Amino acid sequence: MVYDQIEVANTIINKMNSSGYSVTNTRRRIIAEILRNQKIFTSEELTKALPNLGRATIYRTLKILNEIGCICKLNISEENNFYTISLSDHHHHTICKKCNEIKEINLISVEKSIRQLDKKIDGDIISHNLDIFIICTKCS
Ligand SMILES: [Zn+2]
Ligand SMILES: [Zn+2]
Ligand SMILES: [Zn+2]
Protein backbone atom coordinates (compact mmCIF):
# COMPACT_ATOMS: atom_id res chain seq x y z
CA MET A 1 0.00 0.00 0.00
CA VAL A 2 1.35 3.39 -0.92
CA TYR A 3 0.61 6.27 1.41
CA ASP A 4 1.84 9.64 2.64
CA GLN A 5 4.19 8.85 5.53
CA ILE A 6 3.80 12.19 7.31
CA GLU A 7 0.03 12.13 7.06
CA VAL A 8 -0.20 8.56 8.39
CA ALA A 9 2.33 9.31 11.16
CA ASN A 10 0.20 12.25 12.30
CA THR A 11 -2.95 10.12 12.27
CA ILE A 12 -1.24 7.46 14.41
CA ILE A 13 0.15 10.03 16.86
CA ASN A 14 -3.27 11.66 17.24
CA LYS A 15 -4.90 8.28 17.82
CA MET A 16 -2.31 7.36 20.47
CA ASN A 17 -2.86 10.67 22.23
CA SER A 18 -6.63 10.40 22.17
CA SER A 19 -6.42 6.82 23.47
CA GLY A 20 -4.41 8.04 26.45
CA TYR A 21 -0.98 6.74 25.40
CA SER A 22 2.01 9.06 25.62
CA VAL A 23 3.87 9.54 22.37
CA THR A 24 7.50 9.32 23.43
CA ASN A 25 10.45 9.86 21.11
CA THR A 26 11.04 6.12 21.20
CA ARG A 27 7.52 5.44 20.00
CA ARG A 28 7.90 8.09 17.29
CA ARG A 29 11.03 6.31 16.06
CA ILE A 30 9.23 2.97 15.94
CA ILE A 31 6.32 4.51 14.02
CA ALA A 32 8.74 6.21 11.58
CA GLU A 33 10.54 2.91 10.97
CA ILE A 34 7.25 1.10 10.31
CA LEU A 35 6.19 3.78 7.82
CA ARG A 36 9.57 4.02 6.10
CA ASN A 37 9.38 0.63 4.38
CA GLN A 38 5.70 0.64 3.42
CA LYS A 39 5.83 -3.15 3.63
CA ILE A 40 4.67 -5.91 5.96
CA PHE A 41 7.02 -6.32 8.92
CA THR A 42 7.76 -8.41 12.01
CA SER A 43 8.84 -7.28 15.46
CA GLU A 44 12.19 -9.03 14.79
CA GLU A 45 12.79 -6.84 11.75
CA LEU A 46 12.06 -3.72 13.81
CA THR A 47 14.39 -4.91 16.55
CA LYS A 48 17.17 -5.27 13.96
CA ALA A 49 16.45 -1.90 12.36
CA LEU A 50 16.39 -0.14 15.75
CA PRO A 51 19.22 -1.80 17.69
CA ASN A 52 19.24 0.87 20.40
CA LEU A 53 15.69 0.09 21.44
CA GLY A 54 14.79 -2.81 23.66
CA ARG A 55 12.81 -5.71 22.30
CA ALA A 56 10.20 -5.30 25.07
CA THR A 57 9.68 -1.64 24.16
CA ILE A 58 9.09 -2.54 20.52
CA TYR A 59 6.71 -5.35 21.50
CA ARG A 60 4.71 -3.10 23.77
CA THR A 61 4.44 -0.35 21.16
CA LEU A 62 3.23 -2.87 18.55
CA LYS A 63 0.67 -4.17 21.02
CA ILE A 64 -0.65 -0.64 21.58
CA LEU A 65 -0.72 0.17 17.83
CA ASN A 66 -2.63 -3.05 17.19
CA GLU A 67 -5.05 -2.35 20.04
CA ILE A 68 -5.93 1.14 18.79
CA GLY A 69 -6.30 -0.08 15.19
CA CYS A 70 -3.22 1.54 13.65
CA ILE A 71 -1.65 -1.74 12.56
CA CYS A 72 -3.15 -5.10 11.57
CA LYS A 73 -1.79 -8.47 12.57
CA LEU A 74 -1.67 -10.83 9.57
CA ASN A 75 -2.15 -14.58 9.71
CA ILE A 76 0.34 -15.47 7.00
CA SER A 77 3.09 -17.29 8.87
CA GLU A 78 3.21 -19.95 11.56
CA GLU A 79 6.57 -18.79 12.90
CA ASN A 80 6.38 -15.01 12.82
CA ASN A 81 3.75 -12.39 13.51
CA PHE A 82 3.59 -10.14 10.49
CA TYR A 83 2.01 -6.72 10.72
CA THR A 84 0.92 -4.06 8.28
CA ILE A 85 -0.17 -0.48 8.65
CA SER A 86 -3.92 0.05 8.95
CA LEU A 87 -5.31 2.88 6.85
CA SER A 88 -9.03 2.50 7.43
CA ASP A 89 -11.60 1.21 9.90
CA HIS A 90 -12.79 -2.40 9.76
CA HIS A 91 -11.46 -4.04 6.59
CA HIS A 92 -9.97 -7.22 5.20
CA HIS A 93 -6.87 -7.73 3.06
CA THR A 94 -5.78 -9.11 -0.25
CA ILE A 95 -2.24 -10.47 0.04
CA CYS A 96 -0.07 -11.44 -2.94
CA LYS A 97 1.51 -14.84 -2.31
CA LYS A 98 4.56 -13.89 -4.39
CA CYS A 99 5.44 -10.29 -3.49
CA ASN A 100 3.49 -9.96 -0.21
CA GLU A 101 1.84 -6.77 -1.37
CA ILE A 102 -1.16 -5.98 0.81
CA LYS A 103 -4.28 -4.07 -0.07
CA GLU A 104 -7.18 -3.23 2.16
CA ILE A 105 -10.55 -4.42 0.91
CA ASN A 106 -14.11 -3.91 2.11
CA LEU A 107 -16.30 -6.99 1.93
CA ILE A 108 -19.74 -5.50 2.35
CA SER A 109 -21.70 -8.65 1.49
CA VAL A 110 -19.49 -10.72 3.82
CA GLU A 111 -20.15 -8.33 6.70
CA LYS A 112 -23.87 -8.68 6.00
CA SER A 113 -23.68 -12.50 5.90
CA ILE A 114 -21.79 -12.59 9.18
CA ARG A 115 -24.39 -10.38 10.85
CA GLN A 116 -27.11 -12.77 9.65
CA LEU A 117 -25.05 -15.76 10.80
CA ASP A 118 -25.04 -14.32 14.30
CA LYS A 119 -28.67 -15.44 14.71
CA LYS A 120 -27.83 -19.04 13.82
CA ILE A 121 -24.75 -19.33 16.01
CA ASP A 122 -25.06 -20.40 19.62
CA GLY A 123 -23.22 -17.44 21.16
CA ASP A 124 -22.17 -13.93 20.25
CA ILE A 125 -19.67 -13.28 17.47
CA ILE A 126 -16.97 -10.97 18.85
CA SER A 127 -14.68 -10.73 15.83
CA HIS A 128 -13.86 -12.35 12.53
CA ASN A 129 -10.84 -12.74 10.36
CA LEU A 130 -10.68 -13.15 6.59
CA ASP A 131 -7.77 -12.39 4.30
CA ILE A 132 -7.78 -13.20 0.60
CA PHE A 133 -4.60 -14.58 -0.96
CA ILE A 134 -3.90 -13.69 -4.58
CA ILE A 135 -1.20 -13.59 -7.24
CA CYS A 136 -1.26 -9.89 -8.08
CA THR A 137 -1.28 -8.58 -11.66
CA LYS A 138 2.38 -7.51 -11.38
CA CYS A 139 3.40 -11.07 -10.41
CA SER A 140 1.24 -13.10 -12.77
ZN1 LIG B 1 -5.37 -3.97 7.63
ZN1 LIG C 1 2.55 -9.71 -6.33
ZN1 LIG D 1 -15.17 -7.94 8.23
Domains along the chain with CATH numbers: 5-85 (1.10.10.10), 92-134 (3.30.1490)
75 pLDDT tier (thresholds 50, 70, 90):
confident
Over residues 86-99, the mean pLDDT reads 95
**Which-ligand-closest: CA of 99?**
2
Sheet holding 82-85, edge to edge: 41-42, 82-85, 71-74
Judged against a pLDDT cut of 90, whether residue 1 lies above it is answered with: no
**Which-ligand-closest: CA of 97?**
2
Judged against a pLDDT cut of 90, whether residue 138 lies above it is answered with: yes
| The pLDDT value given to residue 119 | 84
Integer Cα distance of 56 and 76 in angstroms: 23
- % of the chain with per-residue pLDDT over 90: 82
| The pLDDT value given to residue 2 | 81
Integer Cα distance of 87 and 109 in angstroms: 21
For residue 51, give the DSSP letter: T
Distance 33 CA to ligand 2 centre (A): 23
Q: Does the global pTM surpass 0.85?
A: yes
96 pLDDT tier (thresholds 50, 70, 90):
very high
Distance 117 CA to ligand 1 centre (A): 23
**Which-ligand-closest: CA of 115?**
3
